[in-house]
Amino acid sequence: MSIFIGGSGSTGSSLLRQILNRNSQVYIYNETQLFCKKKLFDDWNGNKHRLNKRFIFGLRSSGIKMHTGIHLGDYDFGHDDFDNILVNAQNIAISSKSITHFAGSLFEKSNLKKNKKKWGEKTPANVYHFASIDKHFDNAQFIFCVRNPLDTIASLVSRGQNVYYATMQYLMNTSFGINFDQSNKQTLKYEDLVEKPEQVVMKLAAFLEIDFEDSMLNSTTQKRGNTRIKGWEYDETDPVRKNQISKFASLSLVKQSNILNAIHCLKIKNTFAKKHGLKVTSIADISQALDYSIPGSSGRPNKSLLVQKQMDMWHRTIKLYPFHIFNYPIEIC
């Protein structure tokens, strides 16, 4: 069985990865971008040679975050030997008959060196292909990370994203995650994880069929790579504790107002929602589905939202990403 983690950015998936990696049985690989490439599921043999390609020759990720190719340059695979990692991965891909075979060979080989039995992968955009992953991987398990929309968007803005982009990412990723409604998916609320970590992690361990270990709630002694992203007020390797629950409240009133305006004005287009079978198309819908509450907002959309939308739409079109001017999913009401 393999574990796949997805959701909007800034919903606790990096913290969750650290928690799971403290367990002696499992290792979660970090944002390889492998499982958010639609073409690899649709036509593996026709696209497997493009795994390491970049720019116009590379495979575009599905979803809002624009990424080309796969990423294996992490300490997960041995950072000091990056070139050999890429060559090895491409050789495995060429000899693999499917993405299932490739992923199993790549991650299981790495797991042997770590003495771990079970592998998983965390990329927020995995949510766009939970259904495809479920079809290709037997007994796959999914963790859908969610968080209060106000705090999530506030955190993304603190990390440098503009309000439109941050709100769009939350709306799209979370809508696709909600849409995958299967018994092998566990929805994990960030608030629950940091307020009652032992209870939540024990329940999660049972779902993943691994033993709960006290070490999962302790700090990580060996820090590798960047474990503190810009805008975070904590290190993801620290012990689990209540933190960042009220990120939105820490912002200025002007930023709060801008975020509320975007939350109430952005909506997934009906045509796009119908094409993808999405059940929720607004953050108001999401809040109701996930039992969050958001205050109201009055007035028309801020002009900055309209400008940011146009810039984002044209940027995606020029870069040949899946969501472009002829297939753009968002409207401003």
Helix (H, G, I), strand (E, B) or coil at 188: strand
Cβ atoms of residues 170 and 268 within 8 Å: no
State the CATH number of the domain containing residue 318.
3.40.50
Task: Check the CA dihedral 34-38-44-50 and report its sign.
Answer: negative
| pLDDT at res. 229 | 53
DSSP 7: E
Is 7 exposed, middle or buried, given 0-12, 13-18 or 19+ CB atoms closer than 10 A?
buried
The model's pTM: 0.92
Q: Is residue 32 part of a domain?
A: yes
| pLDDT at res. 86 | 74
Residue 79, domain extent:
3-215+245-332
Q: Is residue 224 part of a domain?
A: no
Cβ atoms of residues 140 and 1 within 8 Å: yes
Q: Is residue 236 part of a domain?
A: no
State how many domains the chain has. 1
DSSP 26: E
Cα distance between residue 266 and residue 233, in whole Å: 28
Q: Is residue 221 part of a domain?
A: no
Q: Is residue 277 part of a domain?
A: yes
Q: Is residue 231 part of a domain?
A: no
Cα distance between residue 156 and residue 13, in whole Å: 14
Structure tokens of 133?
């992953």
User: What are the mean pLDDT values of the chain's consecutive 10-residue runs (333 residues total)?
Assistant: 96 96 96 96 96 88 91 70 73 94 92 93 97 97 98 96 97 98 97 96 98 92 55 58 77 95 97 96 97 87 95 93 93 95
Q: Is residue 33 part of a domain?
A: yes
Annotate 124-154 with DSSP letters as a single string: GGGGGGHHHHHHHSTT-EEEEEE--HHHHHH
Residue type, 244: Q
Q: Is residue 184 part of a domain?
A: yes
Torsion angles phi and psi, residue 223, rounded to 5:
-95, 125
Annotate 59-121 with DSSP letters as a single string: PBPSSSS--BS----SGGG-GGGHHHHHHHHHHHHHH-SSHHHHHHHHHHHHHHHHT-SEEEE
Helix (H, G, I), strand (E, B) or coil at 268: strand
